[in-house]
Chains A and B, each alone.
Chain A
Amino acid sequence: MPDVENTGTPARPPDGPPGRAPSRRAVLRGAAGAGAAGIAAATLGGVAAAPASAAARPQARDPRTAPDAAAADEGIVVHVRDAAAGQIDVFRGTTQTRLQDRDLAARLVRASR
């Protein structure tokens, strides 16, 4: 089963003291995380995606932008970072989803020959 890491997924509880409005980072992380988890499931079709939280790691960077409304026909860029390790990045809209799937990576390599 592939692992999924979404770089916009909240990696820790929203910061800011209790009783206050959620911080800017919390607002943005939450929004981006919700959007991208759906994208992973919707775009990978037959590939079973693990829950985003299962493999969530600290995000590389605060995306800072509102998530795009995901159009059904929106283009996707897939980057096989390391075929042997099964490391794949999927770019869509303003999201990036990292997969760990050796089988899918191998199929993509075969398809590209």
Chain B
Amino acid sequence: MSSHREAPEISKDPVADSTDVYAFVSPDKPGTVTLIANYVPLEGPAAGPNFFEFGDDVLYEIHIDTRGHGEPDVTYQFRFATQLPDPDTFLYNTEPITSLTSPTWNRRQTYSLTRVDHGGRRVLGERLICPPCNIGPLSTPDYAAALAQPAVHALSDGSLVFAGQRAEGFYVDLGSIFDLLDLRPFQNLQVYAKALGFTAAPGVNTPKFLNVHSIALQVPVSRVTEAGRPVIGVWTTASRQRARVYDAEGGGQFRSGPFTQVSRLANPLINEVIIPLGKKDFWNTQPPTHDKQFAQYYAHPEVAALLPALYPGVFPNLAALDKARTPRADIEAILLTGIPKGIIDGFTNFTGPVQADLLRLNTAIPPTTSKPSIFGLLGGDAAGFPNGRRVFDDVVSIELRALAGVTVPLVDKSFTPDAAAGELTDGLTPADLGTPYLDTFPYLGVPYDGYDHPAA
């Protein structure tokens, strides 16, 4: 998936596992940028008795590079704390939770938010409350209005913040893609599927009816850009303290030492399908400024080599490109430096020559409010991925098409992409979600409740 359980080590540490990052100029408030980092992948809504939550022992951060050097110029830090008012019940709540102050809500989280920039550290909020998980109609009635919306907090600097459970907004046919890169709409052409007599079929949205935990900010553009530099680079990290002792006598765990990065994410699907298995854990520990060491995997992406092999005869031009060992300068530009001026009329999200995996957003490009394309820049919509990423962007299809060669003409006009390259998809759209996105912050949908999901 975008980055759900994408590396061996982090797949065993869900609360520190970043799954998706979004960065976009807010369509309903174009003077602001919305930044969302999702954690805790694949939450089944029926999760009792221990419902999902953030890690109290994890340092969550959203970083912004405003100067094009791949380093954080602004960082928002989130630290969580769990309260258990009544340790003598086994229940998350003993009566309906009707508000964020319901006294019988028994397992709740609050958080602090700190901004770190070149001026130092500033605490923007403390004891900010998260909403409860969406348990069911008896425990969490009127979830959206009474519990989720009041958990959107206004900060003194004009920003909004939310941290809590949301419906998974990423759509992907995980079961098919990781079954030898089978794309159901084209599986009549896939070598192994064809041998089994499979015919073309619609995609299946694997994370439908699952939830995630989101940390989301809506920040005035001026707070995350520098004058004359509208392009920013965004990424998230999760860090843990270096030492942990399981201390039964002390009643739990003892943690100590500086925080060290265990997870990071910017562009979707990078550690998922670009970085090889033997490097994934290491990639998660590295800062973006060290990404030059991974550039070979962007220049020669494995997916681009697999497509012609798995779909014989469908990608002859891509096969020739791969056989010639032509470095994919298009992929390197899109994902590691941004697209320089002059390549696409009226568009750039270039941050400079430093190769760093950042989600680059040109904040000067206004949001597309009328008929945005889920294919973003490939669909002629410059307000979408890879210019930042909106919640509804079809990043799976966009990246598949780019890797299949659609973007090669950006750097080599003599190359003709294969006809199939521009049609690649796993067969899903936002219509395959179980609940809609929101029109306002935090944009990701109301989480699925555990009473109704899975359905009877």
Contact = CB atoms under 8 A, between A and B. Distances in A.
B242 interface: yes
Given A79-B243, A91-B243, A96-B242, A27 B120 contact: yes
Contact of A94 (B75, B121, B241): B241
Contact of A23 (B118, B121, B245, B287): B118
Interface stretch (B29-37, B149-157, B253-261): B253-261
A66 B121 contact: yes
B73 A91 contact: no
Contacts of A63: 258-259
Given A91-B243, A96-B242, A21 B256 contact: no
Given A23-B118, A77-B243, A96-B242, A61 B73 contact: no
A21 B119 CA distance: 6
A75 B254 contact: yes
Interface residues of B, number: 24
Contacts of B119: 21, 24
Contacts of B245: 77
A87 interface: no
Interface in A65-113: 65-66, 75-77, 79, 89, 91-96
A92 B260 contact: no
Interface residues of A, number: 25
Contact of B259 (A24, A64, A75, A76): A64
Contacts of A96: 242, 257-258
A16 interface: yes
Contact of A65 (B72, B242, B254, B259): B259
A60 B61 CA distance: 18
A95 B75 CA distance: 20
Given A21-B119, A24-B117, A27-B120, A64 B75 contact: yes
Contacts of B349: none
A32 B118 CA distance: 16
A46 to B, nearest CB: 22
Given A21-B118, A21-B119, A79-B243, A95 B257 contact: yes
Contacts of A91: 241-243, 256-257
A14 B202 CA distance: 57
B190 interface: no
Nearest to A24: B118
A8 interface: yes
Interface string B236-268: 000001110100000000101111110000000
B444 to A, nearest CB: 27
B177 to A, nearest CB: 34
A23 B241 CA distance: 24
Given A65-B59, A77-B243, A77-B254, A94 B259 contact: yes
Given A28-B116, A95-B258, 13 more contacts: A7-B258, A24-B72, A24-B73, A24-B116, A61-B258, A64-B75, A77-B245, A77-B254, A91-B256, A91-B257, A94-B257, A95-B257, A96-B258
Which 9 residue pairs across A and B have the least CB separation, nearest first? A91-B257, A91-B256, A77-B243, A91-B243, A63-B258, A77-B256, A96-B257, A24-B118, A27-B120
Interface of A: 7-8, 16, 21, 23-24, 27-28, 32, 61, 63-66, 75-77, 79, 89, 91-96
16 contacts: A21-B120, A24-B116, A27-B121, A64-B61, A64-B75, A64-B77, A64-B259, A75-B256, A77-B254, A77-B256, A79-B243, A91-B243, A92-B256, A94-B259, A95-B257, A96-B258
